[in-house]
Amino acid sequence: MAVANRELVEIFKARTDKREYRRTVLKNSLEVLLISDPDTDKCAATMDVRVGHFSDPEGLPGLAHFLEHMLFYASEKYPLEDSYSKYIAEHGGRTNAFTSSEHTNYHFDVNTDCFEEALDRFAQFFIKPLMSADATSREIKAVDSEHQKNLLSDSWRMNQLQKHLSIEGHPFHKFSTGSWDTLEVIPKSRGLDTRRELFKFYEENYSANLMHLVVYGKENLDEIQNLVEHKFQDIRNTERSCFRCPGEPCTSEHLQVLVRSVPIKQGHKLRIAWPITPEIHHYKEGPCRYLSHLIGHAGEGSLFYVLKTLGWATRLFAGEDDWTLEFSFFEVVIVLTDAGHEHMQDVVGLLFKYIRLLQQSGICKWIFDELSSVCETKFHYQDKITPVNYAIHLACNMQVYPPRDWLVGSSLPSKFSPGTIQMALEELSIDNVRIFWESKKFEGHTDKVEPWYGTAYSVEKVTPSMIEEWMLCAVNDNLHLPAPNVFIPTDLSLKDAQEMVKFPVLLRKSSCSRLWYKSDTMFSTPKASVKIDFNCPHAGNSPEAHVLTDIFTRLLMDYLNEYAYYAKVSGLYYGINRNDYGFQVTLIGYNDKLRTLLETVLGKIARFEVKPERFFVIKETLTKEYQNFKFQQPYQQAMYYCSLVLEDHKWPWMEELDILLHLEAEDLAKFAPELLSRAFLECYIAGNIQTSEAESMVQYIEDVFFSGPNSACKPLFPSQHVTNRVVKLERGMSYFYPAEGLNPDDENSALVHYIQVHRDDFLLNVKLQLFALIAKQSAFHQLRSVEQLGYITSLRQRNDSGIYGVLIIIQSTVKGPGHIDLRVEAFLKTFESKLHEMTSDEFKSNVNALIDMKLEKHKNLNEESGFFWREIRDGTLKFDRKELEVAALRQLTQQELIDFFNDHIKVGAPQRKSLSIGVYGNLHSSEYTADKSGPVHYSVKIDDIFSFRRSQPLYGSFRGVSDHVN
């Protein structure tokens, strides 16, 4: 019998990486990467198949994507439909897949004790899937629903437009996702059986020699290898040759073009693209990384800095996009202001001026060395991520890199090759550019329509002489290369933790602030996390204050951009963001230069001033965001209305937009001192920082804001500490709020069915969590896979500041919200019997799965800080929540879960509190009119959210109760 290839290959890994790796090739030529991590709480696997939508047969667009959907249903060994997904969900895992141009990726993770069976079920995807006729005809509707979701998405529309303007016979030109027309209507009209074509595509393309498998386990490498050989050796190997693209997708006809297109959302955007040599062929030299670092830079003298100073752009991205082994594009994406839109030619002229500057400056070794140093530090001190995401990343790397570089990929440019970088730079020429210009202002001024998404566009030629003219006319600015980066960390030493504490401790408190602190006792990285909540009672007391606080935080980020960009490049990130009760300052990354950045950020806040020219740029950006709210997916609109009903201090976006339109710079200048006049600072500092440093930081903050001669803040009065109150729905009542979809062109409707259960309580928490764990996959299977109500279908928990409930979310073109809500209730009635029929072993298995999920360790400092910060932010302060909930779970009986369901979830239960939000798309507008008059199966129809909110009792707030310190 043939045996697997156990040839040892050295795989380069990070200095801090304690995991073990092994490459092996099974007897069927399946190449495998094995990962052993004894510390993991989750096992994972991913299979990457070197076949994507570029391989779709002629006349069947979307077939590869459709096949990806179908493999989840059933297999010959496990014929019960949905049993794979059900097994994964009930054992603490998740599963998904995606189809790209040249590969399809399938993946899952699961609790460690049931990995072997999960892996066996997963392997059957690639050995003997069933793809029944009934499931095939149903799942076409899901693919179509996914397409309907994307129809009004600008990213999907513009991506397809770029593909449309390429060689018609080239795979890049194809429509990728599929629809009802491409997979049902058109094939039938041509006498094709889609299911037969599906099997044919599978048989021809799914060959073991085109697959790469990553298996991430807890056991040692030998055990994992034996498991893999046993489970995956039966995948057929037909020695299928790898798909290769037939050269470049663009001819001269598709180059030197200016494409005007009409987006769905407000705003203006430039996408400048060049066909280039794929960087994968020179990944150690990193030519695209070097160029994207410079063209995408935001420091003083950069292209973005100049465009921002002129008031023409708000964002800029640069880098390689849409790459394969045969072709690639380098893209510069610039988000324009209204003024920038009017100066489009100058913007493009400045871009080419900067490219010319790079050509004239030569390829700088010091810039490459600095970039290489940053990349090396990042690689060797990278945070652990979830096993499944890590496995996906590595499986994709396996398709294109040699085994030694599977973990590294292109993340470590190490060979300085001026010639290679110069060659890439020369490809960014005026001779082969494609300019895509998006704006609503082109509405009515285009003459073409892209066939799949209906995007209106027009094309004109842009000659090199025209662009040369734009360069000559562009402002004579001060473009120059970036300065050396002072934020690159030099001290990466680890500090001794003074105490091996498991939870944050209250290290310091005063009338002005409270400091929670936790040293790093788990991750051993030279990184820290700092979070500072400025609790300002004046920030959220009106819609106007809410909007002004938002502009205040955005202006601060704007002022700091060119300085702090260097920190970001070096792996030290910061943010200033509005929240419901003020604003938050966050810093996370290498601790070496963190104090320097923090002091600069705090200084900008303390000495805040309004620059009118920047105020109006921020106001314009924010206005467009508000105006684009109506283009959100209908389920997102329904979630917004749900929050508006439940959250006592949430302001409606229409009121905030109305206020925003009339705000002037002077309004913010008057508001900012009032905002900061009273504050309480909630601080959390964690990581590679000692207690004395943490205390020193907070003392510095107090000195800046509270103690100086010109200090901005005073402590809060006891009565001013902020609270977060949530509407308490009445027991035994079902509430209904209907709303028309805000975008009249959107055919999708949505329902959010919310059941409010309780205020934070460990025993009730675990009952709700266990119900959600057991019900999640059943709801998805029944409402999505069987009834095909809509691609977006989910059951999840909701936590509003310590008030817990459960949501069922469905978006659909098939049925209106009223009908969907009846189907949700029908599901819950059916589910009741499943709870009663569950065996004792099944119940214990679900309990143990939930316990394993709760005991899962945090993978990195950011994740740990996020968990503890939520307890601080909500005011619950239950740092040992996981341990206490596990203790409650261990005592829970099946009858208690059934009683909980009967009391709180069961339709018609006397304690049940439900709120249904229906958003009606244009296909169901007539139903909106009927349902608005009062559907009979609800207790209360909400006509006016704010009248309703004012009439309801509120839950007590956890936040603010213990904030006041004597």
Residues noted as catalytic? 68, 139
Q: What is the DSSP code (8-state) at residue 708?
A: S
- Please check whether residue 493 is in contact with residue 526, taking contact to mean a CB–CB distance below 8 angstroms: yes
- Please check whether residue 592 is in contact with residue 491, taking contact to mean a CB–CB distance below 8 angstroms: yes
**Paired strand residues for 525:** none
d(CA 463, CA 430): 8
d(CA 302, CA 382): 28
Which CA distances in Å does 570 have to 374, 446, 601, 613?
6, 44, 17, 30
- Picking from 352, 347, 350, the residue whose alpha carbon sits closest to that of residue 337 is 347
The strands making up 328-336's β-sheet, listed across from edge to edge, are 313-321, 328-336, 268-276, 434-439, 257-261, 456-461, 448-449
- The DSSP secondary structure of 490-516, one letter per residue, reads ---PPPPPSS--SS-EEEEE-SSEEEE
Residue pointed to by tokens 């397809």: 160
3-state secondary structure of 179: coil
DSSP strand pairing (94-99 vs 104-111) = antiparallel
Nearest 5°: CA angle at 411, between 409 and 417?
A: 100
Residue pointed to by tokens 């968990």: 867
Q: What are the tokens at 335?
A: 């988000």
Give Cβ neighbours of residue 336 (< 8 Å, ≥ 6 apart). Answer: 267, 268, 269, 270, 312, 313, 314, 344, 347
Q: How far apart are the first and last CA of the chain?
A: 78
User: At 599, phi and psi to the nearest 5?
Assistant: -65, -35
d(CA 295, CA 318): 6
- Picking from 661, 649, 565, 558, the residue whose alpha carbon sits closest to that of residue 604 is 558
- The DSSP secondary structure of 549-609, one letter per residue, reads HHHHHHHHHHHHHHHHHHHHHTTEEEEEEEETTEEEEEEEEESTTHHHHHHHHHHHHHT--
Residue pointed to by tokens 């200084």: 603
- Please check whether residue 25 is in contact with residue 32, taking contact to mean a CB–CB distance below 8 angstroms: yes
Q: What is the DSSP code (8-state) at residue 279?
A: G
d(CA 75, CA 131): 8
Number of H helices, E strands in the chain: 32, 25
3-state secondary structure of 532: strand
d(CA 759, CA 800): 9
The enclosing H or E element of 387 equals: helix 387-398
Q: What is the DSSP code (8-state) at residue 114?
A: G
Q: What are the tokens at 579?
A: 């929240």
Give Cβ neighbours of residue 73 (< 8 Å, ≥ 6 apart). Answer: 81, 82, 129, 130, 131, 132, 135, 139, 785
- Please check whether residue 327 is in contact with residue 245, taking contact to mean a CB–CB distance below 8 angstroms: yes
d(CA 897, CA 772): 11
Cβ-in-10-Å burial (0-12, 13-18, 19+) of 717 comes to exposed
